[in-house]
Amino acid sequence: MSWIPFWPDTASNTAVTVNTLAIGLFAVSAFICLVVYALILLFAFRYRRGGSADRSHRVKKSWHWEIGWTSATLIAFLVLFVWGAGAYLWLYQPPANAGDEIYVVGKQWMWKVEHPGGQREIDALHVPLGRPIRLVLTSQDVIHSFFIPDFRIKHDVLPGQYETMWFTATKKGEFRIECTQFCGTQHAEMGGWVTVMDPADYQRWLNDQGAEPDLARQGEALFRQLGCSGCHGANSTVHAPSLAGIYGKPVQLEGGRSEIVDDRYIHDCIMLPRTERVAGYPPIMPTFAGQIGEEDVLKLVAYIKSLGNPASAAR
């Protein structure tokens, strides 16, 4: 769309989908507007004062035209609605092959990014070209909104919740990150840049960031530091649920309902344990709300996700 002066760059697969939908919506709307205004001009000219048009039978109705026109426009916009709903679900449901998971924490007034290997960035996001990327977003304080115009992706970032979206970058370069939700006095300065690199260059960039422990290992250290292993460890005498291999599986809660153990569920168990109490266990889990930040919660989530078997839980 480089021939349209005001059209942003198209640098991801999601941008292509949004472009197509936007053009379809614009084309249908423009066609209807043109027809309506053409009819207005036609009738204004044909039935002007002093015109020779036949004005007899004024009470005669032409229901077939009215029903036909209304039905046609309704069907056209229903098609656009279904198309848009499908695109929305596709945009916010990462595919199974979106293996690169990057965490983004919004904080007045910056974006803090953490890669699975422990690499950290502030107001910057490095990603490889042509590889699906899954973003897990949360806020440390107020509502923010993460927006990359050239990728056509935007999502509100809420405190205490995890939101996900994904993209595959299709063009190398640097692309602007914006916050589109007013979040305080320095909202206008909250932004950053996405840098899209060749996969080999991206791997070199990851290696050059230093030998900091990955998120799972940082989470393991924090898990022990906070005393979580005293209850959830393999040798614990406390009656608490085992965390080995629990991620992605259903768990039965008090009251009869069940939940799938995902990032959101683990987050709530840490910060709001009384709302997600596992059936058959006493309510002895303390809340960590106000004691640890969202970055620490992300580390704990990464560690619990890494516990794929009972042997790993005993580490």
CATH of residue 227:
1.10.760.10
- 225 shares its domain with 304: yes
Q: What percent of the chain has pLDDT over 70?
A: 92
Whether omega before 205 lies within 30 degrees of 0, making that bond cis, reads no
Alpha helices (H) in 92-228, listed in sequence order: 199-208, 215-225
- Residue 143 · residue 158 · CB < 8 Å: yes
Alpha-carbon gap, residue 60 to 81, rounded angstroms? 35
pLDDT at 3: 57
Domain count, the chain: 2
SS3 state at 307: coil
Helix pair angle (263-271, 294-306), 10° resolution: 120
Q: Which portions of the chain are predicted below pLDDT 50?
A: 309-315
pLDDT, tens digit (0-9, with 9 covering 90-100), for 223-269: 888 888 888 877 777 778 888 888 888 888 887 788 888 888 888 88
Question: 294 is in which domain, residue-wise?
Answer: 215-313
pLDDT, tens digit (0-9, with 9 covering 90-100), for 254-312: 877 888 888 888 888 888 888 877 888 887 888 888 788 888 888 888 888 888 644 44
pLDDT at 5: 62
Alpha-carbon gap, residue 306 to 243, rounded angstroms? 10
Domain limit, last residue, from 211, 244, 263: 211
SS3 state at 210: coil
Alpha-carbon gap, residue 191 to 118, rounded angstroms? 22
pTM: 0.76
- 122 shares its domain with 157: yes
